[in-house]
Structure 1
C-alpha cells in the first residue's frame, strides 16, 4: 500500500493518502481545502487516481477539500450519515466496508466529539480523526459533543483493536505522528490507565478550551462539502 501522512501546520491537521499499488486507485482522509493543489500534484507524481475523500467528521477548525477535489478530479465524498453533510456522495454507517483496489477500509462509528464521527480501520492501522489523539482526544463541549458517548466509543470500538494497531489521529499539537492502541490504552492521560467513564467525564468538563477560530466559516462550509452553501430564493 502506498501511504503518505500530510500535515497542515496552521491548524495542526493530518491528512492521509492511501493508494493501491496494483490498481493505482487512492483515497484521501480528511483533506484540507487550502492544500488541494498539493494533493493533486502528489497524486500525479505517484500516478494515482483519487476515488474517495473520506471525512472522519464535520470539522469545526478547517474547511474540507472534498468539494473542490470532487469538482476537479471526480472523486466521491464519504461521511457518516449522522454528520449532517447531505452533500456527500456516500453516507456510511458502522461496519461498512469500502474496497479501493486491494485496500479494504472498515468504517467504525465513534461518536462523542460529534454525532457523525467515524474511524477508519485499514489493516494494521486506524485513522481516528478527533475521537482519539496521541495522548488525548477531541473536545466534547460543542457540536453534539458528549463525553460519556466518546468514552464508550473509544473503549468499545478502538481500544478493542489489536494492541499493535497503529493510531493515526486527525490532529497533533506536539509533533507526534503515530501511536499504538497499546500505548493509548496504557498512557493516554484522559482515556488510558484504567480511567473510568466518570473520571473521563469529569476531566472533559474541566478543560475550559477556547472555541476554534475558524468555526463560523468551517461548519457551514463543511456541511456543504467545503463549498459555499446554496442560497435558496423565494
Structure 2
C-alpha cells in the first residue's frame, strides 16, 4: 500500500493519500493544493477514486469538488453533514474501497455533527479528523458541537482500537505528524487517563477560543463540497501553454509543445557558455544566461512574456524556474528533459556561438 502525508501550511491541514493496485483515496484535500495532489497521483501512477472529508471544515476549503472536476473522483462525506453535491453520503459502518484495501467509516460526532473517523481494514491506521488531535481534540462550541457527544465518540470509537493503531489527525499546529491509540489513552490531557465526562465538559466549556479566520467563507463553501460560487475561480492552471505540474512544484512544458509556441516565448538557456555550442547545441532563438549569473542579469528578461528555462537534463533549469518565480515572473516553465530529450526527439537545434 502507498501512503503519503501531505501538509498545507496556510491552514496546518494534513491531507492523506492512500493507494493500492493503481487506485487511490485522498482524505481531507485542500482546494489550493489540488494541483500538488494531482501531480503526486500522476507521478505515482494512481487513479483517484474518491475524496473523503472527515467533516465540514471551518478553516479551509476542501479540494473535493475541484478534484472531481479534474479527474472524475467521487465525493464522500458524512450524510449527517447535509452538504450539496456529495456522491456518496457516508454512515457509520460503511466501507470505502481502493484497490484491494478499504477504509471502514466510524461516526465520531461532537466537534461537528458530521465528523467521521476512517479506519484502515487491518486497524493499523486511523484518520481521526478533528475528533481526536495529538494530545488534544477539536472544539465543540459551533457547527452543532457537543462535548458530551465528543467524549463518547472518542472513548468508544477511537480509543477502543488496538493500542498500536497509528492515529493521523486533520491538523497539528506544532508540526507533530502522528500518534497512537496507546499514547492518547495514556497522555491525552483532555480525553486520556482518568479523565471523566465532568472533567472534559468543564475543560471544553472554558476554552474561550476565537472563531477560525476563514470560517465565514470555508463553511458555506464546504457545504457545497468546495464548489466556488463563480466557476471562474475553480482553476489556476496556466493558460499560456499546456503545462504539467511536478510534485516538486515546478511547471514543465513538453518539447513538442514548446516547439509549437516557441515564437511567443522567451527561451533562457542556463548552461555554461561552452555547453551552449557543444554536441547538443541549443534551441533556436535561445538566450544564454548561465544559472550562476541569472539573478545578476534578471533585468535582461521581459517580465511580461512567458519564460521557458532550458539546460542539459532539466535539473539546473528547474532551479532557474524556481528562482525566476521567486523574483516575480508569473509565467515560467521548465523544459521537460532538457536538451537531452529535445535532441532525442529530433527537434531542431543550432550549434553556432551566440554572444551572451
Scaled to the shorter chain, the TM-score interval is: over 0.9
Unaligned runs of 5+ in 2: 231-356
- Is 1:223 equivalent to 2:230 in the alignment? no
* Partners of 1:32 and 1:103 in 2: CA distance: 24
Q: Which residue of 1 aligns with 2:94?
A: 96
Q: Which residue of 2 aligns with 1:119?
A: 117
Q: Which residue of 1 aligns with 2:78?
A: 80
Give CA deviations for 1:37-93 in whole Å, capped at 9, x if unaligned: 000100001000000000100000000000000000000000010012131100010
* Partners of 2:227 and 2:17 in 1: CA distance: 21
**Partner-residue secondary structure (3-state), 2:5:** strand
Give CA deviations for 1:198-219 in whole Å, capped at 9, x if unaligned: 1101110111111000001001
* Partners of 1:101 and 1:194 in 2: CA distance: 41
Give 1:170 shift: 0.4
* Partners of 2:84 and 2:150 in 1: CA distance: 23
Q: 8 Å contact 1:220–1:229 — kept in the other structure?
A: no
- Is 1:213 equivalent to 2:213 in the alignment? yes
**Partner-residue secondary structure (3-state), 1:62:** coil
4+ residue segments displaced more than 2 Å: none
* Partners of 1:114 and 1:34 in 2: CA distance: 23
* Partners of 2:109 and 2:101 in 1: CA distance: 24
* Partners of 1:82 and 1:229 in 2: CA distance: 23
Q: Which residue of 1 aligns with 2:307?
A: none
**Partner-residue secondary structure (3-state), 2:97:** strand
Which structure would you say has the larger RCO, counting Cα contacts within 8 Å and 6 or more residues apart?
1
**Partner-residue secondary structure (3-state), 1:137:** coil
**Partner-residue secondary structure (3-state), 1:134:** coil
- Choose 97-106 or 171-180, whichever is displaced more: 97-106
Question: Any residues of structure 2 matched to 1:165-204 within 5 Å, and which?
Answer: 165-204=165-204
Q: Which residue of 2 aligns with 1:8?
A: 8
Give 1:229 shift: 4.8
* Partners of 1:88 and 1:229 in 2: CA distance: 16
Q: Which residue of 1 aligns with 2:139?
A: 139
* Partners of 1:78 and 1:194 in 2: CA distance: 36
Matched length: 228
Give 1:175 shift: 1.4
Rg larger in structure: 2
User: So what's the TM-score if we normalise by structure 2?
Assistant: 0.63
Q: 8 Å contact 1:113–1:145 — kept in the other structure?
A: yes
**Partner-residue secondary structure (3-state), 2:81:** coil
* Partners of 1:203 and 1:6 in 2: CA distance: 31
- Is 1:31 equivalent to 2:20 in the alignment? no
**Partner-residue secondary structure (3-state), 1:82:** helix
* Partners of 2:175 and 2:63 in 1: CA distance: 23
Question: Any residues of structure 2 matched to 1:51-62 within 5 Å, and which?
Answer: 51-62=49-60
* Partners of 1:134 and 1:160 in 2: CA distance: 16
Give 1:228 shift: 2.6
